[in-house]
Amino acid sequence: MSDATAKPAAPLDEVMLAMDVVDTLRHRQDLAIRELDGAAREAQLIERLRDIYHQQGIEVPDHILKEGVSALAESRFTYVPPAPGLGTTLARLYVGRKRWGKPVGAALLALLVLGIGYFGVWQPYTAGQAARARIELTEGLPARMDALRETIFEETKVQQAVVQADALVARGKAFAQEGNRAGAVEAVESLTALRDQLRQEYVLRVVNRPDVQSGFWTFPEINTAATNYYIVVEALAPDGQVLSLPILNEETGETETVPIWGVRVPESVYNAVAADKRDDGIIQANEVGRKSDGFLDVEYLMPVQGGAVTRW
């Protein structure tokens, strides 16, 4: 190709030309000249490079070609990976932040939310619960026990209720000091039941209805030679309402809350009630006893033997 027809050299600066020379030397294995050394080898490389660029229509000055050959020898434009280390790791993490940034950010946000929830909500809540429980045991429940005991003392008409109340208060406060909330609460419930028992008013009456028998007899399991006689009773409040009361069943040893139950009586009382009912179908003397306000027990108006059953 003549100088007249040669294409004008590309407007590349010297650095870019030198880099291109190095790249050409790397990728053109046919340029390798192993049999020459030193200046002769460098001169041959420059000559071949000049021909290559000339064929492409690019005129590269000799000093650029020489600079490219020198740069290749010095590995000037060769990329050398950085040595492993903290700085390199951090740099790579920064470069790849778009890949790991969102999931890591989401994880950090979740940890932040969990941290706020645990330290800002759950811990204060549990601490508050513990503080309230401690105050209840040391102040609240003992104060309720004292108040109930005072009410029982003021309303009772029998010393037995005060004795029972004092025992329950002592037991309940001991449980509270031990941190036994269930025991302390049970003492409060027992005191409440004692107070309510004192306030109850009712008449104990023989049941006289077609659907319910008024009396029955049984043979006790422990002594089949004996016979127990019962009359069936119910408790009526002053307003006529039938009350359900806790009754200890002497046959099972269990306490059940029932509206009617059998009271054990002597055979003579049983026979008298039966005769009263046979007379005209109505039991005239149907009042068995009375429970008055301020008392714990029923005041019986006919002989009873102190036992009761809830099932027959």
Portion of the chain with pLDDT greater than 70, in percent: 84
What would the two tokens of residue 283 be? 């039991």
- Beta-carbon contacts of residue 303 (< 8 Å; ≥ 6 apart): 265, 266, 268, 269
For residues 143 and 34, which has the higher predicted lDDT (pLDDT)? 143
10 pLDDT higher than 70? no
> What is the CB neighbour count within 10 angstroms for residue 156?
21
Residue 221, helix vs strand vs coil: coil
Measured from the Cβ of residue 26, the count of other Cβ atoms closer than 10 Å reads 12
Note the Cα 97 to chain centre separation in Å.
Answer: 38
262 DSSP β-pair partners: 232, 309
Task: Identify which of 115-124, 212-221, 257-266 has the greatest average pLDDT.
Answer: 257-266
Q: Does 7 have pLDDT greater than 50?
A: no
Bigger pLDDT: 72 vs 199: 199
Residues in the chain: 312
Half-sphere exposure of 173 (CA within 13 A, CB side): 14
The candidate with the shortest Cα–Cα distance to 308, out of 285, 281, 289, is: 289
pLDDT digits (tens, 9 = 90+) for 90-128: 777 777 777 787 888 888 888 888 888 888 888 888 877
Q: How confident is the model at residue 9, as a pLDDT?
A: 43
> What pTM did the predictor assign?
0.58
**pLDDT above 80 for 306:** yes
Look at residue 121 in the predicted model and tell me its pLDDT. Answer: 83
CA quadruple 132, 136, 137, 138: dihedral positive or negative?
Answer: positive
Dihedral in degrees, nearest 10, Cα atoms 109, 115, 120, 121: 100
Tokens of 221: 């399991």
Residue 36 has a pLDDT of 44
Q: What's the pLDDT at 182? A: 94
Q: Is 227 helix (H, G, I), strand (E, B) or coil?
A: coil
Distance CA 178, CA 184 (A): 10
Helix, strand, coil percentages, rounded to 5, for the chain: 55, 15, 30
Nearest Cα to Cα of residue 287 among 266, 306, 301: 301
pLDDT at 17: 67
Output 155 or 56, whichever has higher pLDDT. Answer: 155
pLDDT exceeds cutoff 60 at 70? yes
Span 63-85, mean pLDDT?
Answer: 68
Q: Which residues pair with 218 in a beta bridge?
A: 228
Which of the pair, 211 or 143, is modelled with greater confidence? 143
Q: What is the average pLDDT score of the chain?
A: 84
